[in-house]
A and B are shown apart, each in its own frame.
Chain A
Amino acid sequence: MYAQLVTTEGGTPREGMSDQERAFQERIDRNEKIEPKEWMPEGYRKTLIRQIGQHAHSEIVGQLPEGNWIGRAPTLERKAILLAKVQDEAGHGLYLYSAAETLGVSRDELLEALHSGKMKYSSIFNYPTLTWADMGAVGWLVDGAAIMNQVPLQRTSYGPYARAMIRICKEESFHQRQGYDIMMKMCAGTPEQKAMAQDALNRFWYPSLMMFGPSDKDSVHSEQSMAWKIKMNTNDELRQRFVDQTVPQAEYLGLTVPDPDLRWNEDKGGYDFSEPDWSEFYAVIAGNGPCNAERLGARVKAWEDGAWFRDGLMAHADKARARRVAAE
């Protein structure tokens, strides 16, 4: 997902909990929202900062692969739609940074952690967007995978995070559709366009499956995050749901999912499918994906080139305030 491999800070097993910890867990069990400044276990706070921060970073780094095609969008309408969508991603990053800030960390601190490599963003954005069909595939598959995770997170236990997710889900409703719409146009177009669409599916299929992260059904971290309701489903559940939803959509387009072992399994009522290459996943997370250097480099450059602008505006605000005070 947009938050992959988030390390959960140790919680306390229920039997060893203090009264305060038990009361906290009981509130979560009753589906009460935890709000800023309320008491919370340090592990809960730290894990949330990591998870929300990683999600926010993914939104703003996620602007880049699609931003790559705004200048080359094939029609004025497509250009406007794509620009509006990538702009939404900046907005989503902003909402999420704001949610993280309620936990006692500043946006600048989070950005510095991103720029130094201390914090990660989703592996998917380290893959290149090579053709216009990739704009379709990213909307259809990447946003489709993200929605799988974001819809349940609207019920997450931390109030500001849940509210950010509600706003994001509302705005995202057009993102996946516009991606599928591009794919439909391409698949109904010239043979070259259809080939582009198939190529995009081939390249984005396994990276999309990786977005959910490796299997965590036996993970202690994951169990704690689920108890805290900051993770609502296991990675495998969401991945299965994604495959089941996506395969018929690919068939409708007349495209072939690049997995020779993909089969409908009547017993489980879902598809059997091949695992992605997890060694590739770990390599990408470690910084060795095809675009890691470009993506992070672009963010760092934007930040450093913009320093004079941010400082200049702050200097003006300080001057203006001083002048007002002097005038009083």
Chain B
Amino acid sequence: MSSEWPLWEVFIRGQHGLNHRHVGSLHAPDAEMAIRNARDVYTRRNEGVSIWVVPSSAITASSPSEKGPLFDPANDKVYRHPTFFDIPAEIGHM
């Protein structure tokens, strides 16, 4: 029995200069074909101007059980968010 084409994660940067964003995955025998397949599968509606593909097996993800330790510390740094600061209304938009 044949071996399955590897799985790739696809990231696309849209028209407006935003970051590449994960849009989904697909199968392809190698990186070049993964790019082309991504073009055909994920940009059928003019969604993108740049494509990255990464073998799914190469992704290292934060462990869900560490979600607390990893992300909770940021929770109390409320001063990083603009709404932390009260600016008098007469100052106008800031």
A307 — nearest CB in chain B belongs to which residue? B2
> Which residues of A150-180 have CB atoms within 8 Å of chain B's CB atoms?
163-164, 167, 171
Number of A-B contacts (CB under 8 A): 47
Q: How far is the CB of B85 from chain A (nearest CB, A)?
A: 30
A interface size (C-beta, 8 A): 27
Q: What's the dominant secondary structure at chain A's contact region?
A: helix
- Tell me whether B18 is interfacial, beta carbon within 8 Å: no
Cα A88 to Cα B45 with chains together (Å): 11
Query: Contacting B29 at CB < 8 Å: which of A88, A101, A317?
Result: A317
Query: Contacting B5 at CB < 8 Å: which of A88, A95, A313?
Result: A313
Whether A101 lies near B30 (C-beta < 8 A) is no
- Tell me whether A14 is interfacial, beta carbon within 8 Å: no
Set of chain B residues within 8 Å of A167, measured between Cβ atoms? 23-24
Set of chain A residues within 8 Å of B33, measured between Cβ atoms? 313, 317
- Tell me whether B61 is interfacial, beta carbon within 8 Å: yes
Whether B45 lies near A314 (C-beta < 8 A) is no
- Tell me whether A35 is interfacial, beta carbon within 8 Å: yes
A320-B30, A321-B30 as given contacts; A107 in contact with B61, CB under 8 Å: no
Q: How far is the CB of B4 from chain A (nearest CB, A)?
A: 5
Cα A106 to Cα B56 with chains together (Å): 13
> Which residues of B38-89 have CB atoms within 8 Å of chain A's CB atoms?
41, 44-45, 61, 63-65
Whether A311 lies near B45 (C-beta < 8 A) is no
- Tell me whether B20 is interfacial, beta carbon within 8 Å: no
Residues of chain A at the chain B interface (Cβ within 8 Å): 35, 37-39, 87-88, 91, 94-95, 98, 101, 106-108, 163-164, 167, 171, 307, 310-311, 313-314, 316-317, 320-321
Residues of chain B at the chain A interface (Cβ within 8 Å): 2-5, 7, 23-27, 29-30, 33, 41, 44-45, 61, 63-65
Please name 29 pairs of A and B residues whose Cβ atoms are closer than 8 Å in the assembled complex, sorted by A: A35-B64, A37-B63, A38-B64, A39-B65, A87-B44, A88-B44, A91-B44, A94-B24, A94-B26, A94-B41, A95-B24, A98-B7, A98-B24, A98-B25, A98-B26, A101-B25, A106-B4, A107-B4, A108-B4, A167-B24, A307-B2, A310-B5, A313-B5, A314-B2, A314-B5, A314-B29, A316-B29, A320-B30, A321-B30
